[in-house]
Amino acid sequence: MRTKVAIIGAGPSGLLLSQLLNLAGIETVVLERKSRDYVLSRIRAGVLEWTTVQLLRAAGVGDRMDREGMVHDGCYLSSNNNMFRVDFHEACGKQVMVYGQTEVTRDLYDAQEALGATVIHDAEDVALHDLESDAPWVSYTIGGVPQRLDCDYVAGCDGFHGVSRPTIPEGVRREYEKVYPFGWLGILSRTPPVAEELIYAAHDRGFALASMRNPMLSRYYIQVPLTDRVEDWSDEAFWAELKLRLPEEACKSLITGPSIEKSIAPLRSFVTEPMRWGRLFLVGDAAHIVPPTGAKGLNLAASDVFYLSQGFKDFYGAGDAAGLEGYSQKALARIWKAMRFSWSMTTMMHRFPEHNAYERRMQDTEMAVLETSDTARKWMAENYTGLPY
């Protein structure tokens, strides 16, 4: 089999890249290690930057998002029961869309089927070959039978644990990482959200977040030590702890119910450089991970896809390789700004076991500056709603 661009991974970044390229007449083949049902069962974040919203519309997958997504003009922040609102629209003229990543992926699958694009599931033992040559290829197996895919380029959209990033030699890769000493315990419940917009709560007991997926599906998180296990937390214990951390005003309207999903996610910041080696390009989580505090994960993947798809369109349409050659540098410039934002939000909102009284007061002061400074709120709003591509 032969294609122009081999895409490793059928998550939202791989499917979105395939969608944009196929719309431009650039043939792709997507290889996915898991089944479609497995991919669609993964629970992920649901806050889309406005730049991501516009990119999904341009990809022809915005109709259901525009019908069912929830447009938010701001969010709430609280510090030990003092709650205030940051108005994104007032601060920078933009908004965000709350629409689950699972739904984005489902829409992309449907769009790929409508285009007749090739997505191969259950592709095991994927390996990348001759990436520094003019004739790269990908080997894999289906049901134990060896397969070969020849291509012009490879896009590694296979996540943090995929095969793409380790294919780049260690002497070439530079990796930057910060592992945080806590995780997020999250539950999903079929209950109405506690507020019309997200609530980010800093508390002496630890961070909490009240979020949602739709008007009858809520997502809540609390900061927990990395030593905690899901089994340590009953639904009743979770709701009780959440009520202690959310502001009293919000708790008055909190409706609890049985969890339909419960998990603990560790927090880390990670970036690898460069994002291109030979004919291989890294996209999304294959190249970078951010704490979920700033809602940047899926959105950074979308900006990677934008830069890379534009590069391929210029190359195949006009023979201009500048976009492909500059992909890594351009993507990383935006990534590091998002890293800074996610790091600052995480540092401000969470309780770190090693912090002393001075550092705790600095966290409180950061929150006070956001509450009282138009300049600080504008900076937060610009970063939260999405820096320009």
φ, ψ of residue 277 in degrees (nearest 5): -145, 110
Of 76, 109, 221, 384, the catalytic one is: 384
pLDDT tens for residues 208-236?
Answer: 999 998 889 999 999 999 999 999 999 99
* 72 assigned to active site: yes
The 199-202 sheet, strands edge to edge = 82-87, 74-79, 199-202, 208-214, 217-224, 174-189, 259-273, 288-289
Q: What integer best gives the mean pLDDT of the chain?
A: 96
For each successive 10 residues of the chain (389 residues), what is the average pLDDT?
A: 97 97 98 93 84 97 96 95 95 95 95 97 97 97 97 97 97 97 96 96 97 92 96 97 96 95 95 98 97 93 98 98 98 97 97 95 96 97 96
pLDDT given for residue 214 in this prediction: 87
- Residue 151 and residue 29 in contact, taking contact as beta carbons nearer than 8 Å: yes
The 70-72 sheet, strands edge to edge = 47-49, 96-98, 70-72
Q: How far is CA 202 from CA 3, 68, 206, 267, 354, in A?
A: 50, 30, 6, 16, 17
pLDDT given for residue 14 in this prediction: 98
Of 12, 136, 247, 292, the catalytic one is: 292
pLDDT given for residue 179 in this prediction: 96
Q: Are strands 28-31 and 82-87 parallel, antiparallel or unpaired?
A: unpaired
- Name the region of 130 (left: φ>0; alpha: ψ -120 to 50; beta: rest): left
pLDDT tens for residues 230-246?
Answer: 999 999 999 999 999 99
pLDDT given for residue 80 in this prediction: 87
Taking 3-state DSSP, the helix, strand and coil percentages for the chain, each rounded to the nearest 5, stand at 40, 30, 30
- From start to end of 279-388, where are the E strands? 280-282, 288-289
SS3 165: helix
**Angle, to 10 degrees, between the axis of helix 297-318 and the axis of helix 327-349?**
170
Of 12, 99, 140, 296, the catalytic one is: 296
Of 200, 220, 307, 327, the catalytic one is: 200
Q: Are strands 70-72 and 96-98 parallel, antiparallel or unpaired?
A: antiparallel
* 389 assigned to active site: no
Domains along the chain with CATH numbers: 5-74+97-177+268-345 (3.50.50.60)
Of 72, 203, 313, 350, the catalytic one is: 72
pTM for this predicted structure? 0.94
pLDDT given for residue 277 in this prediction: 98
**Angle, to 10 degrees, between the axis of helix 50-58 and the axis of helix 297-318?**
40
pLDDT given for residue 139 in this prediction: 98
Strand partners, 261: 188
* 292 assigned to active site: yes
